[in-house]
Chains A and B, each alone.
Chain A
Amino acid sequence: MGVTSKNKLSNILRFLPQGIHNIIMKILLFILIRRNPQVSLRLKDINGKIFLLEAVDINKKYFLKIDNSMIKVLSKGVENPDVLIKGSFSTFAGFLLNRIDPDEAFFNRDLQIESGLEFALYLKNVLGNLRG
């Protein structure tokens, strides 16, 4: 994707309300987990944990809760999530779609883990099992 079209997409994503973002994220995660039941099995060890993914370039926040071995998107945020990860929207998307190496993004500071490294690493490793 060229720089201009990337900027256009960023502008559209920034303009969309958080509620729409949450719905899109819900659908994406639902499809991914449904196609990869082995991922769901591995999530049980972090049941109850809340992750905040903050897409800083489009100013959006996604609160994800591991609930009953599923990843649920919370419509309302919480004050102290267990994990806070910051990055650009395209980095998060690339990670979920298995197109970006999250470690490389982390060491190059495209992803920043501000709290809960252990659980962040757990989620990264579990999502590494996604087969598309």
Chain B
Amino acid sequence: MGSWEDRKLKKVELCAPAGNLPSLKAAVDSGADAVYLGFSGPTNLRNFPGLNFVLNEVEEGIKYAHRKNKKIYLTVNSYPQKEELKRSFEAIDCGYQLEVDALIVSDLALLGYAREKYSDLRLHVSVQAGISNYQSIEFYKRNFNIKRVVLPRILTTEEIKELKENTDIELEVFGLGLLCINCEGRCFLSSYLTSESINTYGACSPPYFVKFTETDKLRVRIGDTLINEYDKGKAISYPTPCKGVYYNKSTRKLGASIQDPQSLNILKIMPQIIESGIDALKIEGRQRSKTYTQKVTTYYRKALDRYYENPLDFKIQEKWFVELTKSFEGLNFAYGCYLKK
């Protein structure tokens, strides 16, 4: 991991999300070191209607970021089947021609295509690949000359430290965003309720399957399945099958049987996360607005800077935490698996 002085020289990179050009510019201006984005359509995992970039917007975004010495990463991280493969190849071609700083990929065919065709293109392996041991990291390094892995949210800081001690590949972890059931790339819950898989379609619970009906209570359905109901006026969480409230046969109770609707926020434990040896910290939320991107990037930038100013006396302002909590898609905050499983 190197000495403190080494780590101070190479600060952790802050990666912010962008689903449109105003968000990209807001992320750059608010202190992100890198911004990750995707093209409109099912080549990446935020395939929501009307969201994401077209070609000329990516071009403008790259120029904007590069003028300010920031990086742009192109996300092509779905698992395309035969009919969609060509579209993902084209996305990679466009990314290379537009000079993105790295490509975030998970599918082996896409990694192979990118590596064979563009030997100088920097490759990051998406969280969707679910890489959680250094043997896998070495496999990707050996076969595709990857430079970074985005780790799934199933590792403790101790386990991340151990990974770092066994590889020279850069490690990126999630700092903020809705927690899912941590089997990235292998989740099929959405398929059961909608017939659309997040891994191929690019969105969990596509919006045309989600229905909100408000009478005495607000009822949320995915397809025909009731997944939750809320009292009037009460805050709600992002409607996904894993956050649904179901009847549990063993406890004979209704409850969040699969997962509580929680949002990850490592702001208060940032020193432990950085000192695990990570190279980059990712903020989730390409589907969110410019206002969100601006807010979360600003507070994460401030916290990172504060850490590097005085790592032994790291303190955040409570206001930063409160403001971030307001923007959650889950109902409360969690540290995920970082401190314990």
- A4: Cβ under 8 A from any B Cβ: no
Chain B residues with CB under 8 Å of A45's CB are 49-50
Closest-by-CB residue of A relative to B56 is: A38
- B142: Cβ under 8 A from any A Cβ: no
Indicate which residue in B57, B207, B211, B326 contacts A121 across the interface (CB closer than 8 Å): B207
Interface string of A95-132 (1 = CB under 8 A from B): 00011111110111100111001110111111011110
Asked if B237 and A128 sit within 8 Å, CB to CB, the answer is no
- Which secondary structure dominates chain A's binding surface? helix
B236 to chain A, nearest CB (A): 6
Asked if A128 and B328 sit within 8 Å, CB to CB, the answer is no
Indicate which residue in A107, A112, A126, A128 contacts B329 across the interface (CB closer than 8 Å): A107
Chain B residues with CB under 8 Å of A101's CB are 288-289, 291-292, 295, 327
Contact A108-B235, Cβ < 8 Å, known A101-B288, A103-B289: yes
Asked if B214 and A112 sit within 8 Å, CB to CB, the answer is yes
Number of A-B contacts (CB under 8 A): 87
What's the Cα separation between A117 and B237 when bound, in Å?
15
Asked if A108 and B289 sit within 8 Å, CB to CB, the answer is no
What's the Cα separation between A100 and B326 when bound, in Å?
12
Chain B interface extent, by class: 20 to 34
Asked if B48 and A125 sit within 8 Å, CB to CB, the answer is yes
- A21: Cβ under 8 A from any B Cβ: no
Asked if B235 and A122 sit within 8 Å, CB to CB, the answer is no
- A42: Cβ under 8 A from any B Cβ: yes
Contact A128-B289, Cβ < 8 Å, known A45-B50, A109-B235: yes
List the 3 closest A-B pairs by CB distance, nearest first: A125-B50, A122-B49, A122-B50
Chain B contacts to A: CB under 8 angstroms: 19-23, 48-51, 57, 207-208, 210-212, 214, 233-238, 287-292, 295, 326-329
Chain A contacts to B: CB under 8 angstroms: 38, 42, 45-46, 98-104, 106-109, 112-114, 117-119, 121-126, 128-131
